[in-house]
Structure 1
Amino acid sequence: MDGAAFVLADALTKLQEDDLDMDDEVLVDAQDAQTQLASVTRVVDAVAHSCTAVQDTATFTYAQSCIKHVGHLEPDTAHRLLDAILSGFSGLLEELAEAEASAASALAEPLERYAFLLQWLVQLLEKHKDHFSRPKTSARTPRPETTWTWASSLPTVLGVLAKALRTVSERLWSSAAMRDTFVSRCILRPVMLLQENEAYLKVASIKLGLFKVTCLAVKLHGQAFNVQTSIMQSLQYYEHLAEPMAELLSVLRVEFDVQRLGEDVLRELAGKSFTSLDTKSPRSYGRFLVRMAELNPRSVLKQISLLQKHQDSESYPMRNAMIEVHGLLLKDLALHPDLGATDVPADGDNDDDDDAPAYRKQINAFFERLLERFLDVTTFVRTRAIQVCNSLCDLPAAFPPQRLRMTELAVQALEDKSSHVRRHAILLLVKLILTHPYGALYGGELSFDAWSERHAAVQARLEQAEATLTRPLTDEDVPTSETDADLAPPAMSSADQEQLVQLRLTHTYCTDALQFMACLERGVPILVQLLASTNKAEVLASMEFFRVAYEYKIRGAADGVRAMIHLIWTKDHALVMDDGSQLKGVRSRLIEVYRALYFEPQEGVSLAENTARIARNMIERTFGATLAELTSLEQLLSVMHGEGLVDRAVIDTLWDVYATTRPIARAQRRGAIMVLSMLAKADRGIVADHIDTLLRMGLGPLGAKDLLLAQHTCIALQRVSGSAKKVKGALSDTNVRYPMSHPMFARLRAVVAMPGEATGCDAAWFGVAEHAIEAIYLLGEQPDALCTELVRHCTLHAFSGASHAAYSLAQALFVAGHVALKQIVYLELVERECKRRKAQKEAGADAKPVSELDQVAEQAEDDLGELFALIRDRELLYGPQSLLALYGPLVTYLCSTMRQQSYAPLRRAAALTLCKFMCISSEYCEANLGLLLHLLRASQDEVVRANAVIGLGDVAVCFGTLVDENSGRLYAGLGDPDLGVKKNTLMVLTHLILNGMIKVKGQLGELAKCLEDEEPRVSDLAKLFFSELAMKENAVYNNLPDIISHLSSGAHAVDEATFVNTMRFIFTFIDKERQAENVIEKLCQRFRLTAEERQWRDIAYCLSLLPYRSERSIKKLLEGLPYYQDKLYVPDVHQRFTDILTKMRQGKAAALAKSGETDLRELEDVLAQAAEPSEAVAHVDTKAPADSQPSTQDEAQTDPLPEAKPERRRPRRRVAT
């Protein structure tokens, strides 16, 4: 550049166009490192000598040459160049600050030269920042001597830029354009460039430096418009600048007292429109709005009427942002009501609040806009609305009307289709309970009954006070004389008026509280169901709700806590949420909740009182509990004891309750031994050390009077043997056994041998006998000897002609059947023990080769197996010396003459014993299988039918081939009117089918009917069955034609509503494209061979459920057009195919159609023609291709689908029961 005057605008333009001419340019890039250092040193020395040296052409050219090729310089050399430019620029600014007004203009050109060089250098250093960053070091590569990085110099650079803005003034330039060029293009442009790097904004010094330069440009040099334009562009193209731009405007308002720029940006943003296809920019603008509302709520409040349009934006990120903005403005208005509302939006809902303060109107309007988003179409928006309401609950202001509305909407959201929304709705309910405003007068508990009593008392007092009010005066009431004045009622005193106002407020307070509690109670049944959700986070939130609700005594919370106990069976693992937080496992959380509610010591209470309280709570958990709840409670307590969470003092207290001689409630003593037996599952020593107590109390006089106590005592005795699980293939028996001379066996024998006179013919005896026999076989060294004596005794007593003969016979049958069943288990133990002894004996023999020993051992095992199989099959029920052989024919006779038996216990005992005998011998099973099936079908006793179903399941496990031939009759139980029979049938079929014990032969349609059963327990079991069946390769797909035929036509057909709901669930398992293609083809062919409109509608609905993601699936449907074209005149069929066409136009199918690979026009034309009401629809009788036309209707209805190729399936979610 020659010595002519330097024109900054021209130089910048040429630089931008890469057309900058330098007459004597130094080729720095061609120099070596030493020469480069010398070139830079020349510039450094010149600037050090005089700040105005840049006006020298040679120095300026050298400086430009070094900057142009700065990417080829060593880091230290580049640092020296930058330092020289900065020091020269800073020194010149100091001279300018001290110069007289007349001499200041002479410094304008060197200032422009420095600014030009600096902005160019910043631009290139940023471009080559990776070259000037500190390299990574390791043990092998030592840290380089230089420590300079480009980022470390940024605070200094920004400081010099800020200094320039503070120093320069308008008097330096002859026109405003020149000043704008200097400020906007040499000062602001580098700043805008630097802020595009997200890493710099994470360094506080750099971030504040950027903000300071921008604010000074706006405040001192009128750059508001340029900065506004830059902010809007940054928000559009750089998502990471959303929050920093809001922080910049906050700094500008707070530290530089410039508020208008922020409002201008908000107004410009309010004028933008976003569509559902916009993704990046709405998210950035939304984050900016939220941050602005946090830092400058009053600025946002002024523009809220303009920003309100984004509340209904098509882009959900903007709707999300507006929800958060409303929440932040509500917080600001609630915390600073004294500031008032600056702009109250007109809202028709607030017409009746004319007397309310302006900020109160605005709060109501904001809440209305916020709560309406609970019904937004997008899951994320609904979730965000709930989260914002959750945060508003922490405000000191109560907002009673809005809280009630929040509660109602949160309860509605519990049934949302999205688990994410449901989870946050639960958390909102928890927060509403924890922060409820109804604890000021009567404490924090929310017992509906207690509050109802308070409400009634307040209402009575209010009515009494209002009855004494002076009625309003009329013209007739005005006293016309002194006499009338004396007769006028006295006016209320100020104290009475104050009391009346207080009563009215209290009445409103109680009414609101009752509404709040009633609303929470409506959500309790839904939350009980959500405890069985497959979403872990949702389950944990439900558990937290019930914990809090129980502590606040909300009605129905105890039901949730009781239902929660089944979660002890959940597989425990931690869950990492989207925000990075980690949730505990369900099982761990359950233990924590139960400990907190029942089993944790309270502070300020003595050790003895705490121990008694915990023991009482454990016992009370057994009151009214079902068998399933007791089983889960047993697992919970055993896990807690295994983890050391049950104190020994609590166990001693439980023994004291069980063994006390004082008269106490039966339920307490029973509960104590039940809890002890549950704890003994983890530690057998708990009951092993108190066998004498068990015999004295539960199997003594108290047990004779309370058979349930005796039953649970027998269960506790079983725990003495230990609960170690048998390892598959292991031969050793780890159970503890006692000699038959032990006193416990005499007591157990006495309990089983109790005659009907002693028990009062109580049905509870059967439970006692069952567990007593199990205890004998678990604990006795020779249990068969004692049980043989028991069977003999019961037989003699039953046929001795004593009173209660029918009951005694039922006792004998029950004992015989259960002894037979336990004898099989005992024979397996004996067989295993024999094999173990033989193995030990042969292992000690070393005379024979190893291979020969192995052969001998295998032969011995085979011989033993055949011997014990012969004993089971022939000796137990058919042996000449077998006592049980007497009962085989007797049981058969009693069951075959069931209609003649009037005594229900005898009928039930006979049927149960029949099932047990059939599990022992295949010969007996084959002879009586028809009888058992007859009982299942024809018995009038629902208990007999329920037991027969379970018996058939057990027989199928033992002798599968016999039952498989008659498995069709097992499905009849699914239509039984009794819930127990239906439920047992479904569970047995689930077990047999899923484990491959019986084959499915076209009966899945009956199981599918259970999906829409009125009883939730049945429908949940059916959903669980199909979910598990779907995990088996192509199982649902292969049986789909039979299911559709079964439910759509014939004697088993269901109504259309049930068909629709059932198929909607079944078709969720047809998720492979190849499967969908084959189903489409077969369903289209069904149209050809059906003549009823009902079947057409059903087939069309099934077609509408399939995904049309591939070209082949679309072509299959179009190829089948001749089969269903003449059925489209039926409105429902037409609507289904219209829905299919809409589905095809979306997603992948739409892309295929657009590319010309598939042509949907033919289907569109046919549908349009069928929809014209004025034209008669011609029934097209197009012949189907010969190779694809089924031969008969039956073949079309039941022909299995083509076998799909095996594919790896992803696990389907389990349906909770």
Structure 2
Amino acid sequence: MSGFSLSEYLTKFQTTDRESYPRLQDPSRELNVIIDQLAVSPEQIDASPDSLEALIDLCHDFPHLTPKLQTQLSYLISSSLSNLSKDIKANLSSNVNFTEIGGLIPQWKRHLEEYGYLIQVLLTFLQDELHKVSSQSTNLNRSAKNSKNDSANVELFKRDCNQMENLLESITKLLEINLSKIFQTTPEKDLFIGLFTRPLFVLLEIEPVTKVSSLKMFIQRILAMCVKNHGQSSSIQSSLMTNLTYFLHLSVFNAELLKLLNDEYNYPQLTEDILKEISTRVFNAKDTTGPKAISNFLIKLSELSPGIMLRQMNLVITLLNNSSITLRCSVVEACGNIVAELAQDPQTMEHYKQQIAVLIELLEERFQDSNPYVRTKAIQGCSKICDLSSKFNKSKAKFTSLAVRSLQDRSSLVRRNSVKLLSKLLLKHPFKAIHGSQLRLSEWEEYLKGSESQLNSTLKKVESQETLNDTIERSLIEEEVEQDEGQCRTELEGSFNKSAELSRIENEVENINTATNTSVLMKLKLMIVYYKDAISFIKEIHKSIELISNLLFSKNRNEVLESMDFLVLA
């Protein structure tokens, strides 16, 4: 059939009432005829003037077909498209001269458009049915009387998902083709790819669909292929941002899609572009869905793709100036997630060392945020960092002082999380290496005094050694001046050689002594710093015990329980 116009058929389908399509008298017979035709070759779709129209009529009558005929029809179209896609891909990938297959391109284009239209019709009817089933199931869940209807809806949902899965699998095979060789202009190619992407984004609005792992995987792969291989980044970005604005359940889906694009398709640009757009977005004061959905998205993305998000963090941080508390909380939580994820690998941590330090500093600043929920998120972020095996000793010292100060916060939520953080800091304190985990202040002060006295005695020994060396050097010089000036040149040369050898040996010994002294001094100085840090930490804990003891009289039950746990631990 040479007169097929995709744009005309598509416009007509979108503007026509779907209930107005005529019912077929004998759909089973017509379907069997078409199955026989397409069994020969998928290119037989328009072999006769009536074959394509009969197939289109079957698809238009899809809601009224029996379940068996629906399954047969969807399988016929999906398998035919898969076979056609394989043939076209094989021809385009072969070493045959392009001019030799150039004559086949118009025919391939027409067949792809025909199958594409049929796929779009089936996707539309299936998504309508899935939406209806999902809404009925939601209503049925509220009243547990109609268990028979509910089980029927579950079976219908499963059958529709299986048919949808076959259609989506055929689309993935289609997208493996280099469509730019078949569709010569960008508008033609965009119109064709839109046959699949538009129904998919409508399908994603149905929350139960996103919980079917096989369907979710196919949808994410199709969208990723459209972005990477077919230049659909801009349109997909627009649709994703729309979904983020209106549908809470798509936050995690979108984050997983962007991770797939980055990990398997090496395309981080879409993630970066979306983060840039989010950072500039202004929300209506009455809008609660948008900020919450984007917050969930940022949190999930920080867990899945921390490296990409870190590169755009300077833009994301601007959301801290937003009036939405939900957004501010998500940025603070994302900072903690990024540090926690990147610090798990020592090489990655070393590579992002400066950026990690900046994020930790931001968490410390948020301890003073005006909102208690944001302050709590900062404390929880620090708790995640304390769980890591990586050493953040300087940061932990700062966390301790900040947590102690937060024990006097007006919010019980902040105080309770501060107690949790202090418990974690006490359990995982970094002063266990030399004297064990006990933190008795008097003992550590004795350790400090011992190291300081050892340092002083070592310094005196070094100074006396230097004085002795100076005396020996002066006597050697005087002895050399008093030597007999009448000795022969050869004797002088021999004397100089012996003196030079002696000086070399003395210098080596002196260097060894100096290096040994330097090493001992450095070790002692480090020990003193270590003991001072430990004593400072112990004093902060003592201060916290006093403050937490007062929290035992709190009216908040959880706060009292956390305080009791800490006091038992301390």
Q: TM-score range with shorter-chain normalisation?
A: 0.7 to 0.9
Give matches, 1:283-298, under 5 Å.
Answer: 283-298=292-307
2:449 aligns with 456
2:45 aligns with 54
Which amino acid is 2:42 matched to?
C
Give matches, 1:565-580, under 5 Å.
Answer: none
Question: What is the alpha-carbon distance in structure 1 between the residues aligned to residue 472 and residue 523 of structure 2?
Answer: 36
Give matches, 1:853-872, under 5 Å.
Answer: none
Give matches, 1:1055-1204, under 5 Å.
Answer: none
Does residue 483 (structure 1) correspond to residue 484 (structure 2)? The answer is no
2:88 aligns with 96
2:355 aligns with 362
Tell me which of 387, 390, 398 is aligned to 2:383: 390
Matched-pair contact (CA < 8 Å) for 1:389–1:428: yes
Which amino acid is 1:369 matched to?
L
2:95 aligns with none
2:4 aligns with 6
Question: What is the alpha-carbon distance in structure 2 between the residues aligned to residue 341 and residue 457 of structure 1?
Answer: 36
Give matches, 1:662-811, under 5 Å.
Answer: none
**In the TM superposition, what whole-angstrom CA distance separates every residue of 1:839-898 from its partner, at most 9, and x where no partner exists?**
xxxxxxxxxxxxxxxxxxxxxxxxxxxxxxxxxxxxxxxxxxxxxxxxxxxxxxxxxxxx
Per-residue deviation at 1:437? 0.4
Question: What is the alpha-carbon distance in structure 1 between the residues aligned to residue 531 and residue 405 of structure 2?
Answer: 23
Question: What is the alpha-carbon distance in structure 1 between the residues aligned to residue 30 and residue 22 of structure 2?
Answer: 10
1:534 aligns with 555
Which amino acid is 1:54 matched to?
I
Mean CA deviation greater in 100-109 or 129-138: 129-138
Task: Flag the structure with more relative contact order, 1 or 2, with Cα contacts below 8 A and sequence separation at least 6.
Answer: 2
Matched-pair contact (CA < 8 Å) for 2:307–2:342: no
Per-residue deviation at 1:306? 2.1
Matched-pair contact (CA < 8 Å) for 1:275–1:314: no
Question: What is the alpha-carbon distance in structure 2 between the residues aligned to residue 440 and residue 340 of structure 1?
Answer: 23
Q: Which has the larger radius of gyration?
A: 1
Give matches, 1:634-1033, under 5 Å.
Answer: none
Per-residue deviation at 1:131? 6.2
2:500 aligns with none
Mean CA deviation greater in 325-334 or 411-420: 325-334
Matched-pair contact (CA < 8 Å) for 1:191–1:213: no
Per-residue deviation at 1:229? 1.9
Matched-pair contact (CA < 8 Å) for 1:132–1:150: no
Matched-pair contact (CA < 8 Å) for 1:531–1:539: yes
1:205 aligns with 214
Per-residue deviation at 1:439? 0.5
SS state at 2:554 partner? coil
2:523 aligns with 502
1:152 aligns with 162
Counterparts in 2 of 1:341 and 1:395: CA distance versus 1, 3 Å: closer
Question: What is the alpha-carbon distance in structure 2 between the residues aligned to residue 469 and residue 95 of structure 1?
Answer: 86
2:77 aligns with 85
Counterparts in 2 of 1:484 and 1:432: CA distance versus 1, 3 Å: farther
Tell me which of 374, 389, 394 is aligned to 1:381: 374
1:169 aligns with 179
Does residue 443 (structure 1) correspond to residue 444 (structure 2)? The answer is no
**In the TM superposition, what whole-angstrom CA distance separates every residue of 1:133-173 from its partner, at most 9, and x where no partner exists?**
89999689997998761012232221100000013532223
Question: What is the alpha-carbon distance in structure 2 between the residues aligned to residue 146 and residue 368 of structure 1?
Answer: 54
SS state at 2:408 partner? coil
1:190 aligns with 199
Per-residue deviation at 1:54? 3.5
**In the TM superposition, what whole-angstrom CA distance separates every residue of 1:326-349 from its partner, at most 9, and x where no partner exists?**
21232344334534777xxxxxxx
Which amino acid is 1:429 matched to?
L
1:418 aligns with 411
1:231 aligns with 240
1:1155 aligns with none
Tell me which of 258, 262, 270 is aligned to 1:253: 262
1:403 aligns with 396
1:308 aligns with 317
Tell me which of 14, 22, 30 is aligned to 1:27: 22
Counterparts in 2 of 1:341 and 1:274: CA distance versus 1, 3 Å: farther
1:16 aligns with 14
Tell me which of 313, 332, 335 is aligned to 1:326: 335
Mean CA deviation greater in 265-274 or 212-221: 265-274
Matched-pair contact (CA < 8 Å) for 2:85–2:177: yes
Question: What is the alpha-carbon distance in structure 1 between the residues aligned to residue 155 and residue 369 of structure 2?
Answer: 58
> Mind listing any 5+ residue stretches in structure 2 that lack a counterpart?
92-99, 141-145, 479-506
SS state at 1:257 partner? coil
Per-residue deviation at 1:482? 5.7
Which amino acid is 1:444 matched to?
S
> Mind listing any 5+ residue stretches in structure 1 that lack a counterpart?
343-358, 474-478, 550-1217
Which amino acid is 1:548 matched to?
L
Matched-pair contact (CA < 8 Å) for 1:96–1:104: no
1:220 aligns with 229
Question: What is the alpha-carbon distance in structure 2 between the residues aligned to residue 429 and residue 74 of structure 1?
Answer: 65
2:566 aligns with 545
1:110 aligns with 111
Does residue 511 (structure 1) correspond to residue 532 (structure 2)? The answer is yes
Per-residue deviation at 1:70? 2.8
Per-residue deviation at 1:375? 1.6
2:514 aligns with 493
1:730 aligns with none
Question: What is the alpha-carbon distance in structure 1 between the residues aligned to residue 40 and residue 176 of structure 2?
Answer: 25
Which amino acid is 1:415 matched to?
Q
1:1136 aligns with none
Which amino acid is 1:101 matched to?
I
Question: What is the alpha-carbon distance in structure 2 between the residues aligned to residue 363 and residue 278 of structure 1?
Answer: 33
1:756 aligns with none
Per-residue deviation at 1:225? 1.9
**In the TM superposition, what whole-angstrom CA distance separates every residue of 1:261-306 from its partner, at most 9, and x where no partner exists?**
2222222222324476542222222222222222222211221222
Matched-pair contact (CA < 8 Å) for 1:427–1:541: yes
SS state at 1:129 partner? helix
2:143 aligns with none
**In the TM superposition, what whole-angstrom CA distance separates every residue of 1:642-681 from its partner, at most 9, and x where no partner exists?**
xxxxxxxxxxxxxxxxxxxxxxxxxxxxxxxxxxxxxxxx
Matched-pair contact (CA < 8 Å) for 1:76–1:146: no
Which amino acid is 2:281 matched to?
K
Matched-pair contact (CA < 8 Å) for 1:277–1:315: no
Counterparts in 2 of 1:39 and 1:265: CA distance versus 1, 3 Å: same
Per-residue deviation at 1:390? 0.8
Question: What is the alpha-carbon distance in structure 2 between the residues aligned to residue 527 and residue 275 of structure 1?
Answer: 41
Which amino acid is 1:238 matched to?
F
Counterparts in 2 of 1:276 and 1:500: CA distance versus 1, 3 Å: farther
Per-residue deviation at 1:370? 0.5
Which amino acid is 1:249 matched to?
L
Counterparts in 2 of 1:274 and 1:131: CA distance versus 1, 3 Å: closer
**In the TM superposition, what whole-angstrom CA distance separates every residue of 1:612-665 from its partner, at most 9, and x where no partner exists?**
xxxxxxxxxxxxxxxxxxxxxxxxxxxxxxxxxxxxxxxxxxxxxxxxxxxxxx
1:565 aligns with none
Question: What is the alpha-carbon distance in structure 2 between the residues aligned to residue 132 and residue 280 of structure 1?
Answer: 25
Matched-pair contact (CA < 8 Å) for 1:327–1:388: yes
Give matches, 1:579-658, under 5 Å.
Answer: none
**In the TM superposition, what whole-angstrom CA distance separates every residue of 1:588-619 from its partner, at most 9, and x where no partner exists?**
xxxxxxxxxxxxxxxxxxxxxxxxxxxxxxxx
SS state at 1:440 partner? coil
Question: What is the alpha-carbon distance in structure 2 between the residues aligned to residue 277 and residue 447 of structure 1?
Answer: 55
Per-residue deviation at 1:177? 2.4
Per-residue deviation at 1:230? 2.0
Question: What is the alpha-carbon distance in structure 2 between the residues aligned to residue 131 and residue 117 of structure 1?
Answer: 21
Counterparts in 2 of 1:187 and 1:484: CA distance versus 1, 3 Å: farther
Question: What is the alpha-carbon distance in structure 2 between the residues aligned to residue 274 and residue 484 of structure 1?
Answer: 86
Question: What is the alpha-carbon distance in structure 2 between the residues aligned to residue 170 and residue 545 of structure 1?
Answer: 65
